[in-house]
Amino acid sequence: MIRNTSNGWGSVSRWLHWILALTIIGMIGFGWWMNHIPARPDRFFYRSIHADIGYVILLLTVLRLVWRVVNPTPALPADSQPWQRLAARISHGALYLAVIAVIVLGWAHSGAHAPDYSDFFGLFHVPQFTSPDRAAANAYEDRHILFAYVLLALIAVHVVAALWHHFIRRDRVVTRMVADEAG
C-alpha cells in the first residue's frame, strides 16, 4: 500500500520517515564531528557537504509534510487517553519545527559565511537569503547548533515513546511504521 490508511502508514510515509530519521541522526553526528576536528584545509569541504545534505533534508521534509496533508494520519489505538493524543500531536509538530529550524538556521549561516556553502554538489548554486556578515554567521551557527541539540532531545523523546508503545503498551503503533499492514 502506497498511501496511508486510517490504520497504517503507507510505503511512501514509511520510506520518508526512515530515510529522514537516519539522515538527520547521521547529520547531527557529522555536524558534531565537524565542529570537533582541528582546523584543517578540508574543513570547508565537509561543511559544504553538510549544507548540501541539509538542503536535501529540507526538501524531503517539505515533501513529507505535503504527503502527510494529503493522506490520512493513522489513528492512535482506541484506548489512548486524550493527553496521549495531544502529546503525540505536539511532539510530532515539535519534531517537524525543529528539523526546519535547524536547516533554516544552517542555511542562514551559509549565506552569512564568507565564502558561502551554496554550491550544491557542484551542480548549481542554492540561493542564499542572508548576506556575508561574520557576526551574523557566528550567531546563526550558534543557534543552528543549539537547535540541533533540541532536535536530538526531541528524537530521544520520540524513540522513548516508540519503545513505550512497543514494549509497555504492546500496541501496533511502532509496527505500523516498520511493516506494511493491510487495513
Write out pLDDT tens, residues 115-154: 999 999 999 999 999 999 999 999 999 999 999 999 999 9
pLDDT at 180: 78
Q: Is the pLDDT of residue 80 over 90?
A: yes
What pTM does this model have? 0.95
Note the pLDDT tens digit of each residue in 37-75: 888 899 999 999 999 999 999 999 999 999 999 998 999
Q: What is the CATH number of domain 11-178?
A: 1.20.950
Average pLDDT, the chain: 95
Distant-in-sequence contacts of 58-62, Cβ < 8 A, 24+ apart: 58/100, 58/103, 58/104, 58/107, 60/16, 60/19, 60/20, 60/23, 61/20, 61/96, 61/99, 61/100, 61/103
Bridge-based pairing state of the strands 119-120 and 124-125? antiparallel
Query: What's the pLDDT at 183?
Result: 46
